[in-house]
Structure 1
Amino acid sequence: MFNEKETESVPPYTIFYCSKKNQFSRYIQWYFSTKKYAYEKADIFLFSYKVKDHKLLHLRRLGSVDMSLQQNKVVNLKLMAPLIDSVVIKPGQYFSIWKLTGKNNRKNGYKEALTLKGTEVSSSIGGGVCQMANLIHWMALHSKLQVVERFHHSLDFFPDNNRKIPFGTGAAIMYNYMDLELYNPSSENIIIKISVGPKYLEGSISSDTPVTTEYKVVEKNQYFKKIDNVYFRFNEIWREDQNNPSYKELLFKNKSRVIYNDKFIPQDLIKMNV
């Protein structure tokens, strides 16, 4: 796949054929895979132990971005949510967004919505569904589910504006070769609930077994640094167990290119020598 700098000079038809090649490779991978994927659904009332819930605001003013693109994003999320809602991940099973939802194309009713291409905010059919991956990934980090496939947004597109969760905990998806895939290594049955409310994309993860861990996901060592006249944002994402003070796990480190005006970067977070 191309990175954000390469896509600036790559002809669109080259990107198109590269995407088709990657999709075909994923189809082959799925065909020969021995993984057991979660498909079955169940009643949420059978899972009385909530692990984590969260919600994300649908519409936010993002500079000069056309709000109709965000409204179309909500349409796309409403098409995707019922396909994921109430899916049970049994012990030893994998969860895959694309395995459950299929193509987010015009044929399946998806609309043109906000998407990120290279270093620009753009639009495409089926855009905006990364918000679904963001929600599920954030909740999964608070559970016993293991994240076995996740793609990081390598760009910092917008300044923080009432940010509720640490930067760099999102997940980028693109049918079908950029997926969010989870694995259940526990002996518990775990259910994912997803709904699209009037203002929020809402979700929860629950278990059929009492919860013994209470994870907290935190950001550490955040700073900005200019490299070759371009600012980059760095941070670390850690997980702590509220019931076990000795448990501290580094989940991942982020390095993202800042593409908004550097006047919005907090001056106290700019490091000259790191």
Structure 2
Amino acid sequence: MIGRPTRRKGYVDGMVLFYGGFRAGIGGGLCQLSNLIYWMTLHTPLQVTERHRHSYDVFPDSGRTQPFGSGATCAYNYLDLQIYNPTEDIYQLSVYVSDEELIGEWRCTAQPLYRYQVYEREHRITQEAWGGYARHNVIGRKVFSREGELLDDEWITENHALMMYSPLLAQNAEDTESTEKAQAAQTAENTEKAQAAQTAENTEKATIFTG
């Protein structure tokens, strides 16, 4: 579906994941495109006929908005993302880039009949014999009718990836984020109490003065 990235087609050098590390390569970053297309497709009746998971978990979960393992890697000419349309409707893929984001959508000639919720289950991290860690999970998908009735709960895929960072690093990042949020909330609460106390004091002074 993505094809071979070449300079003639307009591709430039970008970051390529290579055995858990990084290097420059023509069309580097295309996995962001395949990730997006795969994620969008899981929210349609289209069927994924070929998809390959990432072998390495490179980035911690801090700031993650989608389940681990919900992307798709690609590498010409042996790893591709292929999608089949089993419906009688026409689908059009639209992808474009803003100043900071990659944006895409599946367009269809018919109104959607179903709503999809993609989620993870059976998530676990295991310490391997070689001293590092591996991460595992299962991606599932719930299918709802227009009225919100649960129609199906499907198995989508299973992921296994070598972690290129310590899971304690990810936990520390989450703890730091939680601490910062708690501190911000406490500061806001203290400020609100101080303002309320000052308002009450000013009101009391005004009452004494007018009396």
Q: What TM-score bracket applies, with the shorter chain setting the length?
A: 0.7 to 0.9
Please say if 1:250 is aligned against 2:152.
Answer: no
CA deviation vs aligned residue, 1:246-272 (integer Å, no higher than 9, x gap): 4100101111110113422439xxxxx
Tell me what 2:143 maps to: 241
Q: CA deviation at 1:245?
A: 1.5
Mean Cα deviation higher: 217-226 or 134-143: 217-226
- Is residue 44–residue 116 contact of structure 2 (8 Å, CA) maintained in 1? yes
- Is residue 134–residue 162 contact of structure 2 (8 Å, CA) maintained in 1? yes
Partner Cα distance (2:11, 2:111) in 1: 39
AA aligned opposite 2:153: K
Partner Cα distance (2:167, 2:2) in 1: 35
Partner Cα distance (2:87, 2:77) in 1: 27
Mean Cα deviation higher: 114-123 or 239-248: 239-248
- Where does structure 1 lack aligned partners over 5 or more consecutive residues? 1-95, 268-274
CA deviation vs aligned residue, 1:182-229 (integer Å, no higher than 9, x gap): 000111111111111111100111211121110110111212111212
Partner Cα distance (2:8, 2:157) in 1: 37
Q: CA deviation at 1:105?
A: 2.0
Give the secondary-structure state (helix, strand or coil) at the position aligned to 2:54: coil
Tell me what 1:264 maps to: 169
Give the secondary-structure state (helix, strand or coil) at the position aligned to 1:198: coil
Tell me what 2:36 maps to: 135
Tell me what 1:231 maps to: 133
Give the TM-score of the pair, scaled to structure 1: 0.58
Partner Cα distance (1:234, 1:113) in 2: 28
CA deviation vs aligned residue, 1:90-137 (integer Å, no higher than 9, x gap): xxxxxx222xxxx31233332221111112122212111111100000
Give the secondary-structure state (helix, strand or coil) at the position aligned to 1:123: strand
Q: CA RMSD in A?
A: 1.5
Give the secondary-structure state (helix, strand or coil) at the position aligned to 1:113: strand
AA aligned opposite 2:37: I
Query: Which one of 59, 72, 78 corresponds to residue 171 of structure 1?
Result: 72
AA aligned opposite 2:107: S
Partner Cα distance (2:167, 2:137) in 1: 17
Tell me what 2:19 maps to: 118
Partner Cα distance (1:129, 1:246) in 2: 34
Partner Cα distance (1:108, 1:209) in 2: 33
Tell me what 1:205 maps to: 106
AA aligned opposite 1:242: F
**Higher relative contact order by CA 8 Å / sep ≥ 6: 1 or 2?**
1
Q: CA deviation at 1:241?
A: 1.4
Give the TM-score of the pair, scaled to structure 2: 0.75
Give the secondary-structure state (helix, strand or coil) at the position aligned to 2:87: coil
Partner Cα distance (1:170, 1:140) in 2: 11
Tell me what 1:188 maps to: 89
